[in-house]
Amino acid sequence: MARVNVRCWRETYRGLVPDAVLDDPGFVAARERFWTAALTDERFRENRVAVAERDGELVGIAMSGPPLDAGAEWARQLYVLYVHAADHGTGAGPALMEAVVDPEESVALWVADPNPRAQAFYRKHGFVADGTTQVESGVREIRLVRGLPHRR
């Protein structure tokens, strides 16, 4: 899962995230620690995690969980959805999203901006920008939401 995470970041965020971050020799180990905690730590017991495989190899990962923002209007947050670039358009992305987010749940996510492919994917699946932005690790992100009553 860590290797998929890192490969997707390198494929997607090159030019948005500093090369020093993407090429850090400890990047995979750091993601391994993240995924170990996400899968085993009691604090994350309400998270849902899914993987996509092709020919016995992981090609995508997804994770959702309760929102971190106590005042959130949505029921879940999509924290991770990555698919190898070579597997874009295969249906892995929608399948991963369905595996971790119930279609009836309200949900929010942060997506890098610019990231036109990902933004188009989420719009196709009913997400709309709510006007909120942030800068996380030097990357501008916009928040997208789906299933909020006043935004349908």
Which domains are seen in the chain, by residue range?
Answer: 2-151 (3.40.630.30)
Cis status, amide bond into 25, omega within 30 of 0: no
How far is the C-alpha of 64 from the C-alpha of 130, rounded, in Å? 19
User: What count of other Cβ atoms lies within 10 Å of the Cβ of residue 133?
Assistant: 12
Instruction: Evaluate if pTM is beyond 0.85.
Output: yes
How far is the C-alpha of 84 from the C-alpha of 42, rounded, in Å? 29
Q: How far is CA 63 from CA 48, 66, 85, 118, 151, in A?
A: 5, 11, 18, 16, 24
Place of tokens 């995470």: 5
**pLDDT digit string (tens) for the chain, length 152 residues:** 999 999 999 999 999 999 999 999 999 999 999 999 999 999 999 999 999 999 999 999 999 999 998 889 999 999 999 999 999 999 999 999 999 999 999 999 999 999 999 999 999 999 999 999 999 888 999 999 999 876 44
Range list of β-strands (E), the chain = 48-54, 57-65, 76-83, 107-112, 128-136, 139-146
Cβ proximity of 12 and 118 under 8 Å: yes
Q: pLDDT at position 48, please?
A: 98
Q: pLDDT at position 152, please?
A: 45
User: Distance between alpha carbon 103 and the CA centroid of its chain, in Å?
Assistant: 16
